[in-house]
């Protein structure tokens, strides 16, 4: 059995992996987000970077939605209730809904939506919604345990200079 301290260290380690994957997404020219779904034994079921950057990316292919959908294809609902989705940023309403509908029982996120909003500003590629994932999850019949924000400064790094870029040039 894991202790609260062990669980916290595990959470931080998986969040750091998600943050590192968000850098890979940015380096691919995608929005800097990533998510990992981990089973109750600490084994990674799936990890995904963001693939929703217009014009060539599907705008619904957020990392969290893609990871949750793939986890649901790979594991039965009974296993996902004990799984955790680790994500570099607080899931949006769409992604929180995907976590809920796939049955994943826990979300741990790094960067809060509020902090993300200060980083993206009015960038049209991230018309963020001021709707916390806890509020979305609280409306469902099935509980979703939510932990975060954690490691916000680390999670903010990949976003610095990315938003409001034009013609492939990143601003500082």
> Looking at the annotation, which residues are catalytic?
64
The residues pairing with 84 across neighbouring beta strands, listed in sequence order, are: 38, 106
Let me know if 66 is exposed, middle or buried by CB neighbors in 10 A (0-12, 13-18, 19+): buried
CA distances (Å), origin 1, targets 5, 12, 79, 86, 139: 12, 18, 17, 20, 31
Q: How far apart are CA 146 and CA 96, in angstroms?
A: 10
C-alpha 88/C-alpha 110 separation (Å) is: 5
Grouping H, G, I as helix, E, B as strand and the rest as coil, residue 166 is: strand
Which two structure tokens, joined as six digits, stand for 30? Answer: 């995608």
Are 160 and 115 in contact by the 8 Å Cβ rule? The answer is: no
């Amino acid at each position: 059995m894991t202790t609260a301290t062990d669980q916290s260290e595990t959470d931080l380690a998986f969040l750091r992996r998600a943050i590192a994957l968000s850098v890979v997404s940015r380096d691919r020219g995608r929005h800097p987000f990533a998510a990992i779904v981990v089973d109750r034994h600490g084994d990674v079921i799936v990890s995904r970077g963001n693939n929703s950057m217009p014009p060539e990316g599907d705008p619904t292919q957020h990392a969290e939605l893609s990871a949750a959908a793939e986890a649901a294809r790979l594991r039965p609902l009974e296993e996902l209730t004990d799984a955790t989705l680790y994500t570099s940023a607080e899931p949006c309403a769409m992604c929180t809904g995907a976590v809920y509908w796939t049955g994943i029982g826990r979300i741990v996120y790094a960067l809060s939506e509020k902090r993300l909003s200060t980083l993206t500003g009015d960038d049209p590629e991230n018309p963020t919604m001021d709707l916390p994932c806890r509020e979305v999850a609280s409306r469902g019949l099935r509980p979703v345990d939510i932990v975060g924000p954690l490691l916000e400064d680390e999670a903010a790094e990949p976003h610095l200079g990315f938003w409001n870029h034009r013609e492939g040039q990143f601003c500082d």
